[in-house]
A and B are shown apart, each in its own frame.
Chain A
Amino acid sequence: MTVRIGIPRGLLYYQYGALWERFLQGLGAEVVVTGDTSKATLDCGSVLDDVCLPVKVYFGHIYELAARNVDYLFTPRIISVAARQYCCPKIIGMPDILHSNMEQLPPLLDINVNLHQNGCSLYQAVIAAGRRLGKNPLFSLYAWHNAWQNHRREQPFFCPCRTDRQRIGLIGHSYIIHDHQISMNVIDKLSNLGFEVITPDMVSLCQAAAAAKTLNKKIFWSNSHHMAGAALTLIQSTPPVDGLIFMTSFACGPDALIGELIKRRAHALNIPCMLLTVDEHTAEAGFVTRLEAFTDMLSRRRQPC
């Protein structure tokens, strides 16, 4: 009988989900991914105090999986994905929050991934995951290799070519801007208003890292480092984007500083920048009004006076 492994559609799923799915399938498991975030997901997640919306959403997805009769939950503890960088403390502590707040949880595949000092940690994690499913190390590494080859082919590249549409850089964590419930479909809304939307995942790691070199001090959160680098790439390219929207969730720790950093850089280059904060109480009408006001302003800026 094949093992059923549940993956919650939240947090780092939006970056590594496809990779994880292929890897686990390569190990011979049946993978169950939760559906899109719904109001009910939010309600389940709201038992947590003081945490940001994406963490509540993640918790809600776990809740859904726990009821779906899976053998394992795939919740790796991702401490660091690059040398001398970290993930957000809430992501690192996530498996512990799950343990402390939910009774009767299926066993967690909470392998540690910590590339902060040790580049081999990833392979140790791969082997550990395979071992939990009764696979030998070589088999696990082979499954990971296959999954990784596919993942690598999907790497994006941002090209600042001219288009007739105005362009907006939408900067935010992928688990905010690609989650339809949290982001209120902001990408579709901006496209419908006639804008081309560029998100950080369209900018490659190398491009972002090169742009982030102009910062005085390297940012030590991987995601924020990439977001700041992507924002700098977009506003420093020729031609630069017409406007920047920094979308964040209320009480996101790193974003409080990174948002300020990006806002200051954009203002220095005379590029309009809007900070858009969402939480579970954000109402759609007010949200749309702000998008319309911002895009109207961008359109008027382009018209010759």
Chain B
Amino acid sequence: MLITFPHMGDMSIVLKTLFNGLGRQVSVPPPISKRTLELGMKYSPETVCLPFKVNVGNFIEALEQGADTIVTCGGVGPCRLGYYAEIQRSILQDLGFRFDMIVVEPAITNILKNLHRVAPKQSLPNIYSAFRLATAKMNTLDSLQQKVYRLQPREINPGEADSVRLQGVREIDTAETLTALAAVRQETESKLDSVKLRSGIQPLRIGIVGEIYVMLEPFMNQDLASHLGNMGVEVHQTMFLSDYVNGHLFRKQEYLKLFQHLAALAQPYLRHTIGGHSLKSIGHTVNMGRKNFDGVIHIFPFTCMPEIVAKNILPKVSSDANIPVLSLTFDEQSGEAGLMTRLEAFVDLLKYRRSSQTAADPD
């Protein structure tokens, strides 16, 4: 059994650790490239959302390099993600690939059954420690990323913090024990702490809300966060993989509380959950308006149903909460130049807005 799975940001490191810990060989799909996207576009339905197409590309490339088992997620709607696997399986079978597909549905019996298929002879302590190392890596990756977002607008040599992080990511990937991981984390953090910073600047603060896949996968959002960092913006990404896993899978109290808080903030605008992350997109926007953020960027893949509803509600939220919102749709045609132009225009607007506010309000 050679397992593969779709890419989503640094998720491959986490899943690789998990499956290796469960005693399985893993074939990580090649990094998402133009070819991945082209393969996905060629064999997927035309107007399906982008994550579907990229997943198909990932699977084809992984099956080509010898994987025979695909692990992917299911769902119960109303977002389309829940029905991805059914169609993807049929597309790949028609292309002549032979493989097993393990679809993890959000039900505890299904998870246990699948765990048994993937790791039939593992003892419970083994399974526990595999999960523990994988989640520790996930939390480390996310906290390093968050730290880099804070440093990027302030660093003297642009790109320094991110290159330190990338070095750390490579070491995290190879760390085999919790102690080794802790050492890597400490070392990377101290390196980040010694990055030279300009003093006395107050960068623009922009929150990123929207759909998780586009937010976490730099290839999809065309490195949106780095571009903003280089423009001198402090990026606040509202969702990381750890938030999703701790909130949706482990259902930890603090995340559930946060979700209730966001749902309450979104209540006047969207009074029922409609799948995806639309409720959180709206809740975060209201919240950031209250916390005096300079702006919000709302990102989602073209034809994403829940976020389209959010997009049509956000203009009202934006004017009520007095915070500018830029909605960006990503599809396979999105070009980098167009994105840069829009980001520059938005950042200029926010700078102008901030300077006119300080002029009007001298204290």
Binding site for B on A (CB under 8 A): 48-51, 77, 79, 84-90, 92-93, 95-97, 99-101, 112, 215-217, 219-221, 250-254, 256-257, 259-261, 264, 277
B247 touches A (CB below 8 Å): no
B92 touches A (CB below 8 Å): no
Listed stretches B12-20, B33-41, B117-125, B273-281; interface member: B273-281
Q: Which of A79, A250, A256 has the most CB of B within 10 A?
A: A256
The answer to whether residues A257 and B305 also contact, given A88-B78, A93-B278 and a CB cut-off of 8 A, is no
Contact across chains for A93 and B270 when beta carbons are under 8 A apart: yes
Residues of B within 8 A of A216 (CB): 86, 89
Residues of B within 8 A of A99 (CB): 269, 316
Contact across chains for B78 and A48 when beta carbons are under 8 A apart: no
Q: How far is the CB of B268 from chain A (nearest CB, A)?
A: 9
Interface bracket on B:
35 or more
Q: How far is the CB of A268 from chain B (nearest CB, A)?
A: 10
The answer to whether residues A221 and B48 also contact, given A49-B311, A112-B272 and a CB cut-off of 8 A, is no
Q: How far is the CB of B52 from chain A (nearest CB, A)?
A: 8
Please name the residue on chain A nearest to B316 by beta carbon: A100
The answer to whether residues A260 and B79 also contact, given A48-B312, A90-B308, A96-B271 and a CB cut-off of 8 A, is no
- Beyond the given A100-B316, A101-B316, could you list 19 further A-B residue pairs with CB under 8 A, ordered by the A residue number? A48-B312, A49-B327, A79-B272, A84-B76, A85-B77, A89-B274, A89-B305, A97-B309, A100-B269, A100-B317, A215-B86, A250-B47, A253-B303, A256-B48, A257-B48, A257-B83, A257-B86, A264-B90, A277-B47
B9 touches A (CB below 8 Å): no
Q: How distant is the Cα of A136 from the Cα of B293 in the complex, in angstroms?
A: 49
Residues of B within 8 A of A264 (CB): 90, 94
Q: Name 30 A/B residue pairs within 8 A (Cβ), A-sorted.
A: A49-B308, A50-B303, A51-B312, A77-B271, A79-B272, A86-B77, A88-B305, A89-B278, A89-B306, A89-B309, A90-B308, A92-B272, A93-B270, A93-B309, A96-B269, A100-B316, A100-B317, A220-B78, A220-B83, A221-B78, A253-B80, A254-B80, A256-B45, A256-B46, A256-B49, A256-B303, A257-B83, A261-B87, A264-B94, A277-B47
The answer to whether residues A220 and B77 also contact, given A93-B274, A253-B303 and a CB cut-off of 8 A, is yes
Contact across chains for A101 and B77 when beta carbons are under 8 A apart: no
Contact across chains for B276 and A89 when beta carbons are under 8 A apart: yes
Identify which of B46, B79, B87, B89 contacts A89 (C-beta below 8 A).
B79
Q: How far is the CB of B279 from chain A (nearest CB, A)?
A: 10
Contact across chains for A50 and B329 when beta carbons are under 8 A apart: yes
B96-137: which residues lie under 8 A (CB-CB) from chain A? none
Binding site for A on B (CB under 8 A): 45-49, 74, 76-80, 82-87, 89-91, 94, 269-272, 274-276, 278, 302-306, 308-309, 311-313, 315-317, 327, 329
Contact across chains for B78 and A92 when beta carbons are under 8 A apart: yes
Residues of B within 8 A of A77 (CB): 271-272
Residues of A within 8 A of B87 (CB): 257, 260-261
Q: Which of A84, A100, A250 has the most CB of B within 10 A?
A: A100
Please name the residue on chain A nearest to B90 by beta carbon: A264
Please name the residue on chain A nearest to B94 by beta carbon: A264
Residues of B within 8 A of A84 (CB): 76
Q: How distant is the Cα of A257 from the Cα of B81 in the complex, in angstroms?
A: 10
Please name the residue on chain A nearest to B103 by beta carbon: A217
Residues of B within 8 A of A219 (CB): 83
Residues of A within 8 A of B47 (CB): 250-252, 256, 277
Q: How far is the CB of B297 from chain A (nearest CB, A)?
A: 16
Please name the residue on chain A nearest to B266 by beta carbon: A96
Q: Is the interface of A mostly helix, strand, loop or mixed?
A: mixed
Residues of A within 8 A of B49 (CB): 253, 256
Q: How distant is the Cα of A49 from the Cα of B87 in the complex, in angstroms?
A: 28
Contact across chains for B306 and A96 when beta carbons are under 8 A apart: no
Q: 10 shortest A-B CB distances, which residue pairs?
A: A220-B77, A93-B309, A86-B78, A100-B316, A253-B305, A89-B274, A256-B48, A260-B45, A89-B305, A100-B313
Q: How distant is the Cα of A88 from the Cα of B220 in the complex, in angstroms?
A: 25
Residues of A within 8 A of B274 (CB): 89, 92-93
The answer to whether residues A261 and B308 also contact, given A92-B78, A92-B272, A256-B46 and a CB cut-off of 8 A, is no
Please name the residue on chain B nearest to A79 by beta carbon: B272
Please name the residue on chain B nearest to A263 by beta carbon: B45
Q: How far is the CB of A171 from chain B (nearest CB, A)?
A: 15
Q: How distant is the Cα of A256 from the Cα of B80 in the complex, in angstroms?
A: 9
Residues of A within 8 A of B90 (CB): 261, 264
Residues of B within 8 A of A95 (CB): 271
Residues of A within 8 A of B315 (CB): 100-101
Q: How distant is the Cα of A86 from the Cα of B76 in the complex, in angstroms?
A: 9
Q: How distant is the Cα of A183 from the Cα of B309 in the complex, in angstroms?
A: 24
Q: How far is the CB of B23 from chain A (nearest CB, A)?
A: 28
Q: How distant is the Cα of A154 from the Cα of B74 in the complex, in angstroms?
A: 37
Q: How far is the CB of B104 from chain A (nearest CB, A)?
A: 13
Q: How far is the CB of A11 from chain B (nearest CB, A)?
A: 14
Q: How far is the CB of A165 from chain B (nearest CB, A)?
A: 31
Q: How distant is the Cα of A51 from the Cα of B302 in the complex, in angstroms?
A: 10
Q: How distant is the Cα of A216 from the Cα of B103 in the complex, in angstroms?
A: 12
Please name the residue on chain B nearest to A219 by beta carbon: B83
Please name the residue on chain B nearest to A259 by beta carbon: B45
Q: How far is the CB of B49 from chain A (nearest CB, A)?
A: 8
Contact across chains for B45 and A89 when beta carbons are under 8 A apart: no
Q: How distant is the Cα of A305 from the Cα of B107 in the complex, in angstroms?
A: 55
Q: How far is the CB of B96 from chain A (nearest CB, A)?
A: 15
Residues of B within 8 A of A253 (CB): 49, 80, 303-305
Q: How distant is the Cα of A77 from the Cα of B84 in the complex, in angstroms?
A: 26
Q: How distant is the Cα of A256 from the Cα of B44 in the complex, in angstroms?
A: 9
Contact across chains for A97 and B78 when beta carbons are under 8 A apart: no
The answer to whether residues A87 and B78 also contact, given A256-B46, A260-B45, A260-B87 and a CB cut-off of 8 A, is yes
Residues of A within 8 A of B85 (CB): 217
